[in-house]
């Protein structure tokens, strides 16, 4: 760097280095440069530009300049004064043909690991993606679905094998992990781990809102431009609706409730394979009751003993089982009685945070 009258190595001027890094940190990840001062040919070789137009349902322009104009307008590339270009992190992370071509992003490729059983002892498959998120997303979801365990459902006339988890749940949770990850963490990436009894989707960075409030709060993203673009190309749901649909579908498919956790700087979402109510642990029942109560509340409805019975497929003659789960959830501080002046049979319930806000 130029320092006074002389050029010096940046590492020899620690105060200047700190100042420059502070400036760099203020620039959103998406606007930072991933490849600088490169030619038009390099741009077209490094990025899957045709996929950009395909995903946005725009006819591919016939001339190169128009193609570049589109990419510039969406902040995927920047035109420099010398008529060369720079590729932004947004452009590379979404449309890279191969992320390993970008030094700062090659460790951000998605990893999918499949294990035998319910532990990490035996690895069956491990695959690391190469493509940018927008380019490779459909293929990633297809790959995950292909290796997911199946359940055998016996119908009236035939047996049918169905995937363990609804595809929309996989799509939304993977997309969330990609969008909300903390790119400032180095040497790690989104990881999808598939076990016989669950699938875990982990991303670097803790969420900006409490995991207990994923259902009712609009998501806050560190990477707003990335999130906005992925919504434009229909990779994820509209703002704030994705987790609602994940919880709704797990109820519809009679699966245990999903789990959302923060662990040592990471966020982990877990979908669980089907489990009979009698086989569920206490925490499984409380989590399902809480999320069901939240789902009802944001739909402007209230949880009741009846709705919880339907969620768990409990027969009406066994309504006391639902009552026990409700009482456990109240004792655990997850839900509350909406109006205690109403008789027990007619009572309705709300999430504990709704009671505090009342």
- Tens-digit pLDDT profile for residues 54-68: 999 999 999 999 999
Round to the nearest angstrom and report the end-to-end CA distance of the chain. Answer: 58
Residues of the chain with CATH 1.10.10: 277-357
Q: Write down the pTM of the prediction.
A: 0.87
What is the per-residue pLDDT across 317-331, written as a single tens digit (0 to 9) for each?
A: 999 999 999 999 999
Q: What is the CATH number of domain 109-272?
A: 3.30.565.60
Strand, coil or helix: what is 34?
Answer: strand
Q: What is the per-residue pLDDT for 287?
A: 98
Q: Where, residue-wise, is CATH 3.30.565.60 in the chain?
A: 109-272
Q: Is 188 helix (H, G, I), strand (E, B) or coil?
A: coil
CB 51 within 8 A of CB 38: no
Beta strands at 191-194 and 111-116: parallel, antiparallel or unpaired: parallel
* pLDDT score at 20: 65
d(Cα 31, Cα 88) in Å, to the nearest integer? 6
List Cβ neighbours of 52 (8 Å cut-off, separation of 6 or more): 70, 71, 74, 76, 95, 134
Which segments of the chain have a pLDDT < 50? 154-158
Q: Classify domain 277-357 at the CATH topology level.
A: Arc Repressor Mutant, subunit A (1.10.10)
Exposure pattern of 139-165 as b/e (b: 16+ CB <10 Å)? ebbebbeeebbeeeeeeeeeeeeeebb
The alpha carbon torsion through 166, 168, 173, 179 (nearest 10 deg) reads 160
């Amino acid at each position: 760097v130029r320092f006074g009258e002389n050029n010096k190595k940046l590492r020899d001027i620690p105060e200047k280095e700190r100042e420059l890094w502070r400036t760099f940190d203020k620039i959103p990840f998406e606007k930072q440069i991933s490849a600088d001062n490169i030619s038009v040919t390099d741009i077209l070789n490094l990025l899957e530009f045709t996929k950009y137009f395909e995903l946005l349902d725009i006819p591919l322009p016939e001339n190169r300049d128009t193609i570049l104009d589109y990419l510039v307008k969406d902040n995927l590339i920047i035109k420099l004064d010398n008529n060369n270009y720079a590729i932004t992190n947004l452009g590379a992370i979404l449309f890279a043909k191969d992320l390993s071509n970008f030094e700062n992003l090659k460790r951000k490729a998605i990893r999918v690991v499949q294990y035998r059983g319910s532990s990490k002892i035996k690895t069956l498959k491990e695959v690391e993606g190469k493509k940018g998120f927008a380019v490779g997303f459909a293929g990633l979801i297809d790959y995950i679905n292909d290796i997911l365990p199946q359940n055998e459902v016996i119908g009236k006339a035939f047996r049918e094998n169905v995937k363990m988890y609804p595809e929309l749940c996989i799509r939304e949770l993977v997309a969330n992990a990609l969008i909300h990850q903390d790119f400032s963490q180095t040497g790690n990436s989104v990881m999808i781990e598939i076990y016989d009894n669950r699938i875990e989707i982990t991303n670097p960075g803790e969420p900006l809102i409490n995991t207990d409030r994923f259902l009712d709060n609009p998501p806050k993203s560190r990477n707003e431009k990335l999130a906005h673009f992925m919504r434009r190309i229909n990779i994820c749901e509209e703002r704030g609706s994705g987790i609602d649909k994940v919880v709704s579908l797990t109820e519809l498919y009679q699966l245990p409730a999903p789990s959302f956790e923060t662990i040592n700087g990471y966020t982990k979402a877990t979908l669980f394979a089907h489990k009979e109510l009698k086989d569920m642990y206490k925490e499984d029942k409380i989590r399902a009751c809480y999320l069901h109560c939240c789902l009802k509340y944001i739909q402007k409805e209230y949880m009741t003993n009846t709705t919880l019975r339907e969620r768990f497929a409990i027969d009406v003659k066994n309504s006391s089982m639902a009552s026990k789960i409700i009482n456990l959830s109240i004792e655990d501080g997850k839900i509350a009685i909406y109006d205690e002046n109403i008789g027990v049979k007619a009572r309705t319930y709300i999430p504990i945070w709704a009671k505090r806000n009342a």
